[in-house]
């Protein structure tokens, strides 16, 4: 038998839940661009929907590219802004110059040992052409800019909409990127 105080508490808690702010990340539907599952480098499938409500930098990566040292800058961005609702999503691809020949296990080890990568990395994939994964197909279609080389970057707002594209040569710590990230993080 419920006492009046327990009953009142339960009613108040249910009312609070019912009036919770709509549109919070946990309640909002998954944006179409994020409505995909990909295997991570070391684990099983990960739904990109878990990143809804975050500002995202989506990057195609490669371990044997002249831009490979950008892993360090990407990790720096991730550590700097992750507590504010930001994530870097790395997608290794062997599409450009055969510069990602390793297995998923080798890529994971390379990233961890050489650059201390802790941001989410996904299994090796294709990011251009007929075999491009659906995320990169959508990003290329929406922006009109498919990757032309490794370390091509798409910046997405909290609603999952691409808002900026950065070519491979733009370093992660470049103010062109950081100012956009900060602007998107400030907009709630």
CATH number at residue 139: 3.40.30.10
**Helix pair angle (175-186, 70-81), 10° resolution:** 20
Residue 52 has pLDDT above 50, yes or no: yes
User: Does the residue 10 lie in any domain?
Assistant: no
User: Does the residue 18 lie in any domain?
Assistant: no
Report the number of distinct structural domains present in the chain.
1
**Residue 111 is a catalytic residue:** no
Give pLDDT, residue 171: 98
User: Does the residue 17 lie in any domain?
Assistant: no
Domain region containing 51? 28-186
Nearest residue to 94 via CA among 76, 81, 106, 112? 106
Residue 18 has pLDDT above 70, yes or no: no
> Among 30, 49, 65, 111, which one carries the catalytic annotation?
65
| Rounded mean pLDDT, 74-87 | 98
Give pLDDT, residue 87: 98
User: Does the residue 172 lie in any domain?
Assistant: yes
Give pLDDT, residue 27: 60
Residue 128 has pLDDT above 80, yes or no: yes
User: Does the residue 43 lie in any domain?
Assistant: yes
Give pLDDT, residue 169: 98
User: Does the residue 60 lie in any domain?
Assistant: yes
| Rounded mean pLDDT, 68-93 | 98
String of b and e for 110-147 (b: at least 16 CB within 10 Å)?
bbeeebebebbbbbbbbbbeeebbebbbbbbeeeeebb
User: Does the residue 6 lie in any domain?
Assistant: no
Burial-class residue 27 by CB neighbours within 10 Å (0-12, 13-18, 19+): exposed
User: Does the residue 112 lie in any domain?
Assistant: yes
Close Cβ partners of 174 (under 8 Å, ≥ 6 residues apart): 166
Name 57's bridge partners.
88, 155
Residue 9 has pLDDT above 50, yes or no: no
């Amino acid at each position: 038998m419920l006492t009046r105080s327990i009953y009142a508490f339960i009613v108040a808690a249910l009312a609070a839940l019912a009036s919770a702010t709509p549109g919070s990340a946990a309640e909002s539907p998954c944006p179409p661009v994020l409505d995909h599952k990909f295997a991570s480098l070391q684990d099983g499938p990960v739904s990109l929907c878990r990143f809804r409500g975050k500002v995202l930098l989506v990057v195609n990566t490669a371990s044997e590219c002249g831009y490979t040292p950008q892993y360090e800058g990407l990790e720096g961005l991730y550590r700097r802004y992750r507590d504010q609702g930001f994530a870097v999503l790395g997608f290794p691809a062997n599409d450009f110059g055969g510069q990602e020949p390793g297995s998923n296990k080798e890529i994971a080890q390379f990233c961890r040992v050489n650059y201390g990568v802790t941001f989410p990395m996904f299994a090796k994939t294709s990011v251009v052409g007929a075999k491009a994964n659906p995320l990169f197909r959508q990003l290329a279609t929406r922006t009109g800019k498919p990757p032309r080389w490794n370390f091509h970057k798409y910046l997405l707002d909290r609603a999952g909409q691409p808002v900026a594209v950065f070519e491979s040569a733009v370093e992660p710590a470049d103010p062109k990127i950081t100012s956009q990230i900060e602007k998107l993080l400030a907009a709630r």
